[in-house]
């Protein structure tokens, strides 16, 4: 027997092998999204800042029709959407207050017809002013509507800017015509023939003034219809242009009668509004369901 070698060590037992199980990665589907809540109808219009309400049609009405409605004791002006509605049908519209459209001014219709210029007599200051100087009468209507000389609504409220501008235009037009015809008279007295430039001067001046009056009248009428929600019914949506072109004095007279009740206020020729005093703050009459909105 040999003695044990101290440097000898018995082989170590093999380490137990660990088995690693390979597991496939399984993508867990995300939880199903929760059903979205139905969005409530906005109570305010983002464009105009007016409440949106549901209205029941009192009768079969065409698109664009206007009538008074009431909700929770508040009266407002309802507008029928495009396409019209049937009796009993519910539709949504803006809740436009009647107090924002003017004092004692009909809404959704004209106060009277375009040919009713003699309603208050042909010696009425409005008729005289419209026939003799329609631009001044147009400036008075612009001042009432708070629009500029091109018929565009103003953000601020100057009391007589439009009327003063029209007065300046009329003064310039009168002065230039006096100068031109004075030059004509001088040439005629000196036996000097008139040139083409002389004829073009007077034609250009008067044609430009006429075009300015037609454009201002049509734009002002369009602004008035938009403010009081009066629809066009004739001339294939060119009603404003046709009325201003062919019936300018009558059109201006109709706009003036629409924006002032001459049964309660007195007319004047040479004031910024064409009135001797302010219109009384009476309630607007917007019950278009009972009135004839097809009046022109």
Torsion sign over Cα 278, 283, 284, 288? negative
Give the pLDDT band (50/70/90) at residue 224.
very high
- For residue 158, what pLDDT is reported? 58
Give the pLDDT band (50/70/90) at residue 78.
confident
User: What is the token pair recorded at 197?
Assistant: 């430039």
Whether the per-residue pLDDT at 85 is higher than 50: the answer is yes
Task: Please state the φ and ψ torsions of residue 241, each to the nearest 5 degrees.
Answer: -65, -40
* Beta strands per DSSP E along the chain: 52-56, 66-71, 74-79, 90-94, 96-97
pTM of the model: 0.64
Other beta carbons within 10 angstroms of residue 150's beta carbon come to 13
| Cα torsion through 10, 12, 13, 18, rounded to 10 | 180
pLDDT in tens, 103-136: 478 878 898 899 988 888 889 999 999 999 999 9
Give the pLDDT band (50/70/90) at residue 20.
very low
Whether the per-residue pLDDT at 288 is higher than 90: the answer is no
- For residue 281, what pLDDT is reported? 39
Q: Do residues 104 and 66 touch, judged by C-beta distance below 8 A?
A: no
- Nearest Cα residue to 166 out of 206, 223, 132, 209: 209
List Cβ neighbours of 2 (8 Å cut-off, separation of 6 or more).
none
Q: How far apart are alpha carbons 77 and 281 in whole angstroms?
A: 18
Most confident of 153-162, 249-258, 283-292: 249-258
- For residue 74, what pLDDT is reported? 78
Across 274-278, average pLDDT: 76
CA 217 to chain centre: 15
On the CB side of 5, CA atoms within 13 Å amount to: 4
Identify the residue with better confidence: 242 or 43.
242
List Cβ neighbours of 43 (8 Å cut-off, separation of 6 or more).
51, 52
């Amino acid at each position: 027997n040999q003695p044990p070698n101290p440097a000898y060590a018995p082989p170590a037992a093999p380490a137990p092998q660990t088995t690693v199980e390979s597991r496939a990665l399984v993508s867990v589907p995300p939880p199903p999204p929760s059903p979205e809540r139905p969005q409530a109808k906005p109570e305010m219009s983002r464009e105009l800042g007016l409440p949106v309400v549901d209205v029941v049609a009192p009768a079969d009405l065409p698109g664009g029709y206007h009538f008074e409605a009431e909700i929770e004791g508040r009266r407002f002006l309802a507008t029928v959407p495009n396409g019209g509605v049937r009796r009993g049908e519910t539709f949504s519209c803006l809740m436009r207050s009647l107090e924002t459209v003017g004092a004692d001014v009909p809404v959704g219709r004209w106060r009277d017809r375009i040919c009713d210029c003699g309603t208050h007599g042909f010696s009425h200051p409005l008729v005289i002013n419209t026939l003799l100087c329609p631009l001044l009468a147009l400036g008075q209507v612009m001042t009432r509507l708070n629009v500029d000389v091109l018929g565009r609504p103003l953000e601020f409220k100057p009391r007589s800017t439009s009327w003063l501008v029209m007065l300046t235009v009329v003064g310039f037009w009168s002065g230039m015509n006096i100068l031109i015809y004075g030059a004509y008279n001088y040439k005629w007295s000196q036996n000097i023939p008139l040139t083409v430039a002389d004829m073009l001067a007077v034609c250009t001046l008067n044609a430009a003034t006429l075009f300015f009056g037609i454009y201002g009248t049509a734009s002002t009428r369009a602004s008035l219809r938009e403010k009081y929600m009066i629809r066009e019914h004739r001339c294939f949506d060119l009603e404003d242009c046709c009325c201003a072109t062919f019936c300018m004095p009558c059109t201006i007279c109709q706009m003036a009668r629409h924006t002032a009740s001459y049964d309660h206020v007195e007319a004047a020729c040479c004031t910024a509004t064409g009135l001797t005093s302010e219109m009384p703050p009476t309630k607007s009459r917007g019950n278009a369901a009972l009135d004839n909105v097809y009046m022109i």
